[in-house]
Structure 1
Amino acid sequence: MEKKILVPTNFSKHSWSALIFAMKLYKKYPCTFYLINAYTSRGGLSEAMSMHKEDDEETNQSVSENGLARIMQGLSFRKENPKHRFEKISFDGNLVDGVEENVKKLGIDIIILGSPGDTAGINTAENNKISKITENIEECPVLVIPEKYETAIDPNLEIVFPTNLRIPFKPRELEPIIELAENTDCSIRILYINTDSKPLNKEQEKNKTELISHLSKVNTSFHTLTKTTATTGVHLFIESRESDFLALYQRKQGFFSRLFNKAAIEDIDFDPKLPVMILKEIK
């Protein structure tokens, strides 16, 4: 089945790296990659567009269209996977609006974002381009790739998937993490942070059993940490195991929001230095 993947670009190194990562990640699948750049025709460059005009008469629209054309030319030189094809979208307006509009119009399966530097930049308190997309785009999963991240060639890759097991998952919500595990030969490590040092209640036990069953197509294990906060627990687990990916399930009131809750005083500023997949609640 063909995958439809939306890759925002501002013609920077990190957005190009995210595109290359995406092509490697989905090398087994027929895919259409939609490359979107946002600009504004109402004066001033969009926050999503970093290219400089070559002359004063060049419009923001032409900068956007020419930049996308150069990417397409670069891809043609590389002679990429014959299963992959590429489309370009030059959007007049805000990047978040452009992503949201095209996710719905094109039936996008996943958004892949490049993050500058060595962190994913997903902390919603930072109010940056990436956090705005991850927070505002509903029902479409997002994979954020730090610019400086390189996937190790290792048979023991793993995805850390923290959860409080308080609400059951729908099978469709978990499809992206299963695909990620299959594409990278990763194992999934379900991580439960037992902040209250209490045993799982009946509902949590049921949700645990169902979750493991939903993930039965891939190698999965269950892990528990006690006497720690959500943020610190996830950080320590990733650091101690040198994990390769982090998957987070985003609900308004759930584990995801606890990781970024500024009202709670945490001892670690959570900004992971590895690719992060954000799964979305499907209503």
Structure 2
Amino acid sequence: MEKKILVPTNFTKHSWSALIFAMKLFKKFPCTFYLINVYSSRGSLSEAMSIHKEDDEETNASVSEKGLARIMQGLSFRKENQKHRFEQISFDGSLVEGIQEQVNKLGIDMIIVGSPGDTAGINTAENNKISKITEKVKECPVLVIPEKYETAIDPNLEIVFPTNLRKPFKPSELEHLIELAQNTECSIRVLYINTEGKALSTDQEKNKEDLLKQLAKVNTSYHMLTKTSPTTGVHLFIESRESDFLALYQRKQGFFGKIFNKAAIEDIDFDPKLPVLILKEIR
């Protein structure tokens, strides 16, 4: 089955790196990669992706179209997968609006975004372009790739998946986590942060059992940390194990919000230095 992958670009090194990562991640699949550049024809718009003009007379629309054309030309020399196709989209408006419109119209399976520097930049408190995409785009998973991340060649790669086990997951919500694990030959480490040191409730035990059953297609293990905050617990787990990916499920009033809650004094300023898959709640 063909995959439809949306890759936002502002013609920088990190957005190009995200595209190459996407091509490698889906190398076994027929795919259409939609390259989208969002610009504003109405002056500076905070959610539009910045573009560089070579000429003061040049319009933002022209810069956007030329930049996408250059990427397409560069891709014409790459022959890794004959089943990969590429389409370009130049969108006038806000970043979230442009991405959400394509998700709805094209039936996008995943958004893959490159983050500048060595962190994922997903902390919603930072209010940057990456966090706006991960927080506001609905019902489509987002994979964020830090610019300086290099995939390790290791038979023991792993994805950390923290959860509070309070609500069950729909199979469709876990589909892309399983697919990421299969494509990268990763194991999944389900992580429960037991902040209060209490035993799991009956509902949590059932949700745990159902979750592990749904993840049975890939190598999966269950882990628990006690007497620590969600943010610190996830950070320490990743650091101690040198994990390779982090997967977060975005549900209102759920773990995703707590991991970035700075209200607790013991919490650290968490900005992971590894690829992060944001799974979305599907209604």
TM-score above 0.5, yes or no: yes
Q: Conserved in 1, the CA contact under 8 Å of 2:47 and 2:96? A: no
Aligned mates of 1:48, 1:29 — CA distance in 2: 31
Question: In the TM superposition, what are the counterparts of 1:182-197 in structure 2 within 5 Å?
Answer: 182-197=182-197
The reply to whether residue 66 of structure 1 matches residue 66 of structure 2 is yes
Q: What is the distance in 2 between the residues matched to 1:123 and 1:243?
A: 19
Aligned to 1:241: 241
Matches of 1:154 and 1:48, distance apart in 2: 38
8 Å contact kept, 1:11–1:49: no
Give 2:180's aligned residue: 180
State the match for 2:228 in structure 1: 228
1:164 shift after superposition = 0.5
Task: Give the aligned residue type for 1:218.
Answer: V
Q: Specify the alignment match of 1:279 in structure 2.
A: 279
Aligned residue number for residue 36 of structure 1: 36
RMSD of aligned Cα (Å): 1.1
Secondary structure of 1:222 counterpart: strand
Does residue 11 of structure 1 match 2:20? no
Alignment match, 1:137: 137
User: Where does the alignment leave 5 or more consecutive residues of structure 2 unmatched?
Assistant: none
Alpha-carbon separation, structure 1, partners of 2:103 and 2:265: 36
Deviation at 1:50, TM superposition (A): 3.4
Give 1:57 shift. Answer: 1.7
Q: Secondary structure at the match of 1:248?
A: strand
- Give yes or no for the alignment of 1:216 onto 2:241: no
> Is the Cα contact below 8 Å between 1:4 and 1:110 reproduced in 2?
yes
Q: Distance in 2 between matches of 1:35 and 1:54?
A: 21
Match of 1:77, SS state, is: coil
Contact kept, 8 Å, 1:39 with 1:46, in 2: the verdict is no
Q: Contact 1:8 / 1:35 at 8 angstroms: preserved in 2?
A: yes
Question: What is the match of residue 164 of structure 1?
Answer: 164
| Residue 21 of structure 1: aligned partner | 21
Shift of the alpha carbon at 1:61?
0.3
- Residues in 2 aligned to 1:181 and 1:62: alpha-carbon distance in whole angstroms: 40
Aligned to 2:223, what secondary structure does the other structure show?
strand
The total of aligned residue pairs comes to 283
The letter for the 2-side match of 1:224 is: M
Q: Deviations for 1:103-157, whole angstroms, at most 9, x for unmatched residues? A: 0000000000000000000000000001111111111000000000001000100
Query: 2:227, 2:49 → 1: CA distance?
Result: 45
Distance across 2 between alignment mates of 1:266 and 1:82: 51
Which residue does 2:98 correspond to in 1? Answer: 98
- TM-score, normalised by the number of residues in structure 2: 0.98
Report deviation, 1:58: 1.0
- Mapped to 2, the partners of 1:252 and 1:46 lie a distance apart of 25
* Secondary structure class of the residue paired with 2:212: helix
1:197-221, CA deviations, whole angstroms, 9 ceiling, x for partnerless residues? 0111100000000000000100000
Structure 1 portions without partners, runs of 5+: none
Shift of 1:46: 6.5
Distance (whole Å) between structure 1 residues aligned to residue 198 and residue 229 of structure 2: 14
Q: Does the 8 Å contact 1:36/1:88 carry over to 2?
A: yes
Task: Report SS of the residue matched to 2:77.
Answer: helix
Partner residue, 2:77 = 77
Separation of aligned partners in 1, 2:269 and 2:44: 33
SS at match of 1:165: coil
Matched residue, 1:263: 263
Alpha-carbon contact 2:45-2:94 (below 8 Å) kept: no
Q: 2:5 touches 2:34 (CA, 8 Å); kept in 1?
A: yes
TM-score, normalised via structure 1 length: 0.98
Which amino acid in the other structure matches residue 97 of structure 1? E
Identity over aligned pairs, percent: 82
Q: Which structure 1 residue ranges, 4+ long, deviate > 6 Å from structure 2? A: none
- AA paired with 1:98? G
> In structure 2, what is the Cα distance between the partners aligned to 1:271 and 1:50?
23
Mapping for residues 112-131 of structure 1, pairs under 5 Å: 112-131=112-131
Q: Distance in 1 between matches of 2:158 and 2:76?
A: 33
Structure 1 residue 47 displacement after superposition:
5.1
Letter in 2 for 1:137: V
